[in-house]
Structure 1
């Protein structure tokens, strides 16, 4: 059943932007919205669950919707997402790229990475978006980072099948809010006319949606023609090792920073490290300690204070460095320096 989950006309004009922002922040993958004209802001959101796939149609005034690193830390359901404009224009920015979308062009985005969506026209735009759990996609399709934030054609070929299907499942009621209920105390959960498909078809429709997204990803990944082992976990781990080595001096180096740099979720990063007898945090600490131990034994650096050696390799304070060094090597760093000099 399609539901109108937000309708700004039920609210005073002065509250509409703030209430829609609150609505987005309490979704399963939180976002935030801003507008240069909050007094004119309007929004309608209609949602439909088809099996494991969530489809929504949003009509928004010119505005910017963001998913920041902080909001990702708050909640990340690890989704592969498709978005396209049914009316108006929008720009989707992720992974260092920005896609300008006209009607029916679509873009992919990942719930585990920062995102910006801008409604760019003078008037409102209507967009459709679908969320597919990444775990339901084939392994190769889960690693489609090269497609994020790129405009993809939705008027012909497999892309047209995808956008047509998603548009059709949301076509049970008009997209301009004519179906919305009257004022209510709580505007976020309103009754809605039934979807024009039998309720029992939801599971089938969800499976079709997953298959279409997977086929679309496979089509565009084939066009990229990557080498067979280019996306393998072994190659990715080597890249992660090199990244950690390069960024050891940075105090903010963490599993989250490593995951963000490689466009993967933290949970996937931890799964990669299950093949090793260590964790990401332990690896970073061990390599920092190894570099600091080497420097403490270097006669050329004997005049460099110990706290400077610690800071040189990303330790935030001398006390924590001393504790970690003693735990790893059985002696404090000062004694190790004296022993090395002797």
Structure 2
């Protein structure tokens, strides 16, 4: 059998699967992104396995030289069943042991964690969280989620759902059943909401990137829509700060990574009057979860070699700075 000299990382989303193959030092040797199989369930597990094997083949790497894979997925992986709860964008994940399905197909240890947790690891290693023992990574895009690093290690909670701040009772009526599927806060800050606010003010339906573009040109309605977004993010940051007292908050995701959002968030935090943590923009952008997954796979492969762990499915344990 070839020596394990490579690892694989996967950032699994509701619409895209981003995957990479890296050497033991974490240097990426192959990478690709494809649309997520809309059938969900085992079809996605098969898609991930085929994609990773294709990357290895394209890079001239024997599959037996790949020692571990880590996957960041939307939702909360259940440590008892391997199923993924709170993942409405990928069908059948709440009844599938994704870890087992992938480990069986890949033939080596598989690490599974929430995608925002993986992004927090990426930021901890090489991004905006580097140098902090206690920080949170808040991803704002299609929805909102948070990865929590306490004393250098990820915090997941009793059910793996720590950081699911979409359910904070802020921004919209938390008692309205319509706001309880995605969460009250997510209904207020989801990307489509920015475009909807702009449309309500102007009667014009445009995409979120166009709203940001027009805000940059001084459009008052676009600026107001972004300011509303910043206000609700600031409220979430204040709530998180009151509970966790992090040193820093790193904003990421397709919307959170926008530089235009940083100063309005800081301004609203200042108006709240409470002591606020440092707020920074992600340095890794959309690659944060993939880089975190590679770090998790490297950790798993090293641990497996040290303890002679047989291929199995597991929830990743805390990873501290190298």
- TM-score normalised by the shorter chain: which range applies? under 0.3
What TM-score results when the alignment is normalised by the length of structure 1?
A: 0.26
Question: Which structure's relative contact order is higher, taking Cα pairs within 8 Å and 6+ residues apart?
Answer: 2
The structure having more radius of gyration, on CA atoms, is 1
